[in-house]
Structure 1
Amino acid sequence: MTSAPTPTPSAPSPTLVVLDMAGTTVADGGLVERAFSRAAEELGVEPGSAEHAAQLDHVRATMGESKISVFRALFATEEAAQRANAAFERAYADLVDTGECAPLPGAEDAIGALREQGRTVVLTTGFARTTQDAILDALGWHGIADLTLCPADAGRGRPHPDLVLTALLRTGTESVRHVAVAGDTAYDMLSGIRAGAAVVAGVTSGAHDGTRLRAAGATHVLGSVGELPALLGGL
């Protein structure tokens, strides 16, 4: 179900693939919203209130963005934003620890296929390193990719290009034109476009649909990350 124009035949086939985690390679299953609700309640936002509903709408609209940036937009002070972020990370890690975390169908095979094609694979997230590591632990994914990155590793999270560019620098990739980015949110697409990636593939397995992914700049829209090896193999 690949759509949108493909790069010209002369474009190099990407050697670096930067993959999002939640919603792209890892099933979200509403964990972000549930963890947010716990965090908001800890800061005195009553579940079911108009304030809670408005904040939850913002969380949904900004899926893919660095979580501390989301909380800075929702709370008036840096202290409150940091408290909310810490509470969110604890709540998400607790949910992961109870077994509510799974790879999306075909994700492990896709990562393996990409590496078998000779490509370098980097997993990225908008979560803090502790939460990213908790997910990797739960899935047994340490070592599944060549590198894992969170916003603290790069300086800024999505929609800034920093995670993609940090992946390029740390892996010694020659050019941004040798980079492919895949994610399930508009913020993933913006990050890839701003970094100059040759392929910016949106997947409809997560937060945003094809229309929104295309509007954010997706060069391709796929049903899942499982379609990515075939797409890149044809370039």
Structure 2
Amino acid sequence: MNVPVGTTRLVCFDMAGTTVADDGLVEQAFTRALDEVGSTVIDREAALRHVRDTMGESKIAVFRHLSGGDEAAARRLNGAFERAYEVLVDAGLCAPIDGAEQLITKLRAAGVRTALTTGFSRATADRILSALGWRDLADLTLVPAEAGRGRPYPDLVLTALLRLGVDDVRHVTTVGDTASDVLAGRRAGAAIVAGVLTGAHDAATLRDAGATHVLHSVSDLETLLLPTDTPEE
């Protein structure tokens, strides 16, 4: 089945908190990373607030901010974070959001292109995809280093559009659980910029960032993008 002109031709999905359950794994990994690096300079409480506020953004960019622009310190912290997160994933603490895999499969069957995007590095993203058996689930997976900049910049969305041959940003839908996901979608010009309540930010935060729709879960996108035909009376 081909997608009619004027409807969504590409959906860009966030990963952690949107299609992949987070359940505090990012914060756990960050705390473990601080323990490994042994930083006495970073205020942990303030750092955790910043990590929560910037969920969805490129992790190395977050660590550069926390390290006060010290690139070597940022890379040490980022490396420790990635190792800690991968240990948690390998321990089986990584699970899909209910309905996410089924939705992506249905969209592809309907001719809609799909991309999984994340603020993690390629190594961490691949660890998650392998743990879930999702290496071939979407048409494309992207991390910030492959697109230029991470969220809230529009680069991940626009790179997906270019690589998947979609010719108009008005045929793009984005979905994520954070304000930075929403900002990236709005800046990219996507027609539908959906926020979901399964991750870091609440409905008010998502609406304030400019979400066109706030959904309980990513699975609720199906009613927007793949409406069932109403039989004629």
| TM-score normalised by length of structure 1 | 0.92
Partner of 2:161: 168
Partner of 2:222: 229
Q: Percent identity?
A: 62
Alignment of 1:195-206 (within 5 A): 195-206=188-199
Q: Which letter does structure 2 place at the counterpart of 1:31?
A: L
Q: Tell whether the 8 Å contact from 2:42 to 2:67 is kept in structure 1 after alignment.
A: no
Q: Which letter does structure 2 place at the counterpart of 1:61?
A: D
Question: Aligned equivalents of 2:23 and 2:45: distance in 1?
Answer: 19
Give the one of 74, 77, 81 matched to 1:88. Answer: 81
Q: Higher relative CO (CA 8 A, sep ≥ 6), structure 1 or 2?
A: 1
**Cα distance change on mapping 1:129 and 1:50 into 2, 3 Å:** closer
Q: Say which SS state the counterpart of residue 181 (structure 2) adopts.
A: helix
Q: Tell whether the 8 Å contact from 2:42 to 2:66 is kept in structure 1 after alignment.
A: no
Q: Does structure 1 residue 36 correspond to structure 2 residue 24?
A: no
Alignment of 1:142-221 (within 5 A): 142-221=135-214
Question: Aligned equivalents of 1:22 and 1:185: distance in 2?
Answer: 10
Moved over 4 A (4+): none
1:12: how far off? 1.7
Q: Say which SS state the counterpart of residue 17 (structure 1) adopts.
A: strand
RMSD over aligned Cα atoms: 1.7
1:142: how far off? 1.0
Give the one of 39, 45, 48 matched to 1:56. Answer: 48
Q: Which letter does structure 1 place at the counterpart of 2:145?
A: A
Question: Aligned equivalents of 1:58 and 1:87: distance in 2?
Answer: 18
Deviates more, 1:188-197 or 1:115-124: 115-124
Partner of 2:231: none
1:50: how far off? 8.6
Question: Aligned equivalents of 2:212 and 2:129: distance in 1?
Answer: 29
Alignment of 1:40-119 (within 5 A): 40-45=34-39, 51-76=43-68, 77-119=70-112
1:233: how far off? 2.5
Q: Which runs of 5+ in 2 are unaligned?
A: 229-233
1:172: how far off? 0.6
Alignment of 1:130-141 (within 5 A): 130-141=123-134
Question: Aligned equivalents of 1:30 and 1:60: distance in 2?
Answer: 10
Q: Tell whether the 8 Å contact from 1:45 to 1:52 is kept in structure 2 after alignment.
A: no
Q: Tell whether the 8 Å contact from 1:159 to 1:187 is kept in structure 2 after alignment.
A: yes
Q: In the TM superposition, what whole-angstrom CA distance separates every residue of 1:139-172 from its partner, at most 9, and x where no partner exists?
A: 0011110010000110100000000000000001
**Cα distance change on mapping 1:151 and 1:106 into 2, 3 Å:** same
Question: Aligned equivalents of 1:87 and 1:21: distance in 2?
Answer: 20
